Structure 1
Amino acid sequence: MSALCRLVHRGLSCRLFPGQLDVCRVAPPVRSASSSSPVNLTYDVFDGKGESTPLVFLHGLFGSKSNFHSIAKSLVQRTGRKVLTVDARNHGNSPHSSALTYEAMSGDLKHLLAQLHIEKCILIGHSMGGKTAMTTALTQPGLVERLVVVDISPAQTTARTNFRYYIQAMQDMKISSDIPRSTARRMAEDQLRSLVKEHSVRQFLLTNLVEQNGHYAWRVNLEAISAHLDDIMSFPNFNTVFEGPTLFLGGASSAYISSEDYPEIQRLFPSADIQYIPDASHWIHADKPLDFISSIISFLQS
């Protein structure tokens, strides 16, 4: 194979760099989709040389596939496995849709895995992505060899979040046109500050600020997120179980996985192990990346 080749397969355009990141985009980009059909998710592939089951990372609300790039590179080096990081619908470079439920996001993931001929994966999801991962494991257990749920549980999370304030601040933001990106980011952060108190959260939200023909806008679909925030904060009811090995990995400084959630975790995931990483907040992989990676590797080897 040449150093650079192009593959076009089922509407997906991928650039392959042997031993490096495979950059894959839907081509041409579609910015909207019907509410019932799956969307073609954008994703990046870090191509390991081993034949073991690939790892698939799903980000949280307002996140993107790039949140796990450094983690993915490390895991490829440490395990030899192929690693995918995926943009959820209405996030990153994936298409926008008026629907934003866990059933829909799980359907998108199943659609992507089928396109890529991945018959089984190790699914690792953070927050919203963790709920999508749980939904996938509970509805299509044959697709999931192992499951890692990062700082979220199959429970209502509304009381623990400030996402409604974040959405309001982002919707209220006004940025001048035709100004340097650095200036636009400063203007945006100044406007977010009144409702988003934490500097780290403001910086996280600002990763979604993009420039389009001289105008600045949010790449996330704020309208759909706002309309479906109750769905995102809740979790579907299931009477099925996922019997496969499962790790719930919480931040010790986070309230997203509490002892009140343990009975429901054990009901749905009878093989679950629950662990906490010290001095980590909700964004464990950003706060303690080495501990996070070590926990994943230990789980894979267990």
Structure 2
Amino acid sequence: MSALCRLIHRGLLSGRSSFRLFPGQQDVCGVAPCLRTASSCSPLNLTYDVLDGKGESTPLVFLHGLFGSKSNFHSIAKSLVQRTGRKVLTVDARNHGNSPHSPMLTYDAMVGDLKHLLAQLHIEKCVLIGHSMGGKTAMMTALTQPSLVERLVVVDISPAQSSTRTNFHRYIKAMQEVKISSDIPRSTARRMAEDQLRTLVKEHSVRQFLLTNLVELNGHYGWRVNLEAISANLDDLISFPSFNTVYEGPTLFLGGTSSAYISSEDYPEIQRLFPNADIQYIPDASHWIHADKPLDFISSIISFLHS
């Protein structure tokens, strides 16, 4: 085992004898993809799902938020394929879902991963739809690679600092403290994990969302997200780089009225970077708009595509 791999094992697995990271397929280090690493300059090969539409219009590409996965948009994607005829791509970000893990978790790296994936799939231009962290990746892609983005949808996030509006530090701490015995039924493991999360994560819907990351292999339970990388990079993830460039394409910022992630204080920066942006809100929707109000979310996307 290489020195790097030994550090990975020691740093990520110490003190976790009853609660392991998900050990899926083997990689060059002989460890799970959750522990896979890559050089900071190399894009990762992301996992994705493609739903093929019969139309020839520009494909839609969905980018999920922190602690999410491509499955968050599965039903949304199916509906949009049926209603628009477009190809729809849902993507697992690095350190999330089934995509490889890396200590590097920056927006620059995630833009590089996305650019690499679109090139692999011969997608020269797309409608990019990103939620939260995925929305920031989408904004940065549009600002740095505008030729790739025909239209942009940013879901409940803005190009502003979101540190005062987030509880992600608390979520990470709660997930890191979870301990689950081996060789118990999945239903029992899930119940144990939720009971332990409840101390720091009061909202039932948020606990259920975090629990989508609980996975099992050979009787051992763990989180498929790379908590170490998320924790180490969280300050960067809840900020946004400064840009002097603009994205001139049609843009929709879609917020939830029960969320504080797009406020009137953000409007000047939105309009500076995205001069053709429209800002809309979906009533009674929280930060997870697509989960709270899927039909309204789909209707907003379709209206924007036709605008």
| Normalised TM-score (structure 1) | 0.90
CA contact (8 A) 1:34 1:98 kept: no
* Structure 1 letter corresponding to 2:71: S
Aligned length: 277
Residue aligning to 2:91:
86
Mapping 1:132-171, distance limit 5 Å: 132-171=137-176
Residue aligning to 1:204:
209
* Structure 1 letter corresponding to 2:150: E
> Residue 62 of structure 2: SS of its match in structure 1?
strand
> Residue 217 of structure 1: SS of its match in structure 2?
strand
Mapping 1:114-193, distance limit 5 Å: 114-193=119-198
Task: Between the two structures, name the one with larger relative contact order (CA 8 Å, sep ≥ 6).
Answer: 2
Task: Tell me how far 1:214 sits from its aligned partner.
Answer: 1.2
Residue aligning to 2:242:
237
Structure 2 Cα separation of the partners of residues 90 and 186 of structure 1: 24
Q: Is 1:248 aligned to residue 245 of structure 2?
A: no
Mapping 1:22-41, distance limit 5 Å: 30=33, 31-41=36-46
Task: Tell me how far 1:34 sits from its aligned partner.
Answer: 2.0
Q: Percent identity?
A: 87
Structure 1 Cα separation of the partners of residues 217 and 239 of structure 2: 33
Task: Tell me how far 1:212 sits from its aligned partner.
Answer: 2.1
Residue aligning to 1:76:
81
CA contact (8 A) 1:284 1:292 kept: yes
Structure 1 Cα separation of the partners of residues 41 and 186 of structure 2: 36
* Structure 2 letter corresponding to 1:191: Q
Residue aligning to 2:306:
301
Task: Tell me how far 1:132 sits from its aligned partner.
Answer: 0.2
Task: Tell me how far 1:36 sits from its aligned partner.
Answer: 2.1
Q: Which runs of 5+ in 2 are unaligned?
A: 1-24
- Runs (4+) of structure 1 exceeding 6 A deviation are 26-29
Deviations 1:135-164 (A, max 9, x none): 000000000000000000000001101110
| Normalised TM-score (structure 2) | 0.89
Structure 2 Cα separation of the partners of residues 79 and 35 of structure 1: 38
Q: 1:277 to 1:137 in 2, by over 3 A?
A: same
Q: Is 1:48 aligned to residue 57 of structure 2?
A: no
Structure 2 Cα separation of the partners of residues 169 and 36 of structure 1: 31
Deviations 1:115-146 (A, max 9, x none): 00000000000000000000000000000000
Q: Which of 271, 274, 281 is equivalent to 1:269?
A: 274
> Residue 57 of structure 2: SS of its match in structure 1?
coil
Task: Tell me how far 1:95 sits from its aligned partner.
Answer: 0.2
Residue aligning to 1:291:
296
Structure 2 Cα separation of the partners of residues 111 and 104 of structure 1: 11
> Residue 89 of structure 1: SS of its match in structure 2?
coil
Q: Is 1:228 aligned to residue 233 of structure 2?
A: yes
Deviations 1:20-43 (A, max 9, x none): xxxxxx997853322221100000
> Residue 93 of structure 1: SS of its match in structure 2?
coil
Structure 1 Cα separation of the partners of residues 61 and 90 of structure 2: 6
Structure 2 Cα separation of the partners of residues 46 and 265 of structure 1: 31
Structure 1 Cα separation of the partners of residues 39 and 46 of structure 2: 14
Say what the alpha-carbon RMSD is for the aligned residues: 1.2
Q: Which runs of 5+ in 1 are unaligned?
A: 1-25
Between structures 1 and 2, the one with greater strand share: 1
* Structure 1 letter corresponding to 2:87: K
> Residue 123 of structure 1: SS of its match in structure 2?
strand
* Structure 1 letter corresponding to 2:135: G
Structure 2 Cα separation of the partners of residues 290 and 133 of structure 1: 22
Structure 1 Cα separation of the partners of residues 39 and 203 of structure 2: 36
